[in-house]
Amino acid sequence: MAENKIRIGIIGGAGYTAGELLRLLVHHPFAEIVFVHSESNAGNYLYDVHAGLLGDTDLRFADSFDLTAVDVLFLCGAHGKSREFWAANPRPEGLKVIDLAQDFRDESEGYVYGLPEMQREKILGAEKIANPGCFATCIQLGLLPLAAAGLLHGEINVTAITGSTGAGVKPSATSHFSWRNNNISTYKVFTHQHLIEIRRDLGLLQSGFEAAINFVPVRGDFTRGIFASIHTGCPLSEEEAVALYKDYYQDAAFTFVSERDVDLKQVVNTNKCLVHVEKHGDKLVISSVIDNLLKGASGQALQNMNLICGLPETTGLLLKASAF
């Protein structure tokens, strides 16, 4: 375990993922926030943008940064911005990086894909982590045990609904309250960008994986959380499937197999993933639920920081669900 504070820098500090990350870091026992960079908010208090931080910190957004002054750098910018950042800023030797964008999720340029339930040992020895996408995390955690057992052969059908925070902090036509409220819609049907990392990673666990993944993303009338309903052909009985999942996740810090139906309120405001499996005919039906901003983004990023810095995996992440 680290004896000294881990010095933290954040690039792209004004969005939802940075706000959630800061909410976790200000109370993390081994973290010291050195700078939070935001060109548009430079000089403003963090709580001017992330109002929930009022009373927790008097830090201000910075318009400049010194990468040699930090041990860990979180990149919280938009997709594509991370490659631009490194084109303009050389990485100091030994600087650990956790990128929440999708730029390096293919594990290019020495990055390790940061899904601990899949490759925890690889993460432990890494300096550069590509944090998984939110849908990708939720769906993969519903399928990893089957892939590891070589049981993904038929089509995989996924319908997953997400809260409005998944669209980012900047308002858009489909995240504006008057449109989102009392409404529901699909988008990027069968074409969502997270399919790329899902297919890649399932193929790493199950050699020759070629099954179709039919993914229908849904915009939900709520702010945070993802509920994925997955079904695929499976030769196992329900009892065998439950045993397979419990065995795969027996050492996981935040993923748990529930023998009852699961719901979003069990995971919102936590870094947990809850998985439930049941058999219907020849189909295995899997429910997987996460908080898209925590296990789907900032919580998992902090989990990865704990791992690469030699801390207990759950440090700063023992959060209670907002049950009501």
Q: Are 165 and 15 in contact (CB under 8 A)?
A: no
* CB-based contact 23:50 (threshold 8 Å): yes
Q: Are 211 and 152 in contact (CB under 8 A)?
A: yes
**CA pair distance 159, 139, nearest whole angstrom:** 10
302 sits in which H/E element? helix 299-308
Q: Is 134 considered catalytic here? A: yes
Quickly count: other Cβ atoms within 10 Å of residue 307's Cβ.
21
Query: What DSSP line would sit under 11-36, residue for residue?
Result: ESTTSHHHHHHHHHHTT-TTEEEEEE
Task: Pull the structure tokens for residue 196.
Answer: 């790329």
Q: Side chain identity at 154, as an amino acid letter?
A: G
Out of 134, 138, 234, 273, pick the active-site residue.
Answer: 134
Q: Catalytic amino acids?
A: 134
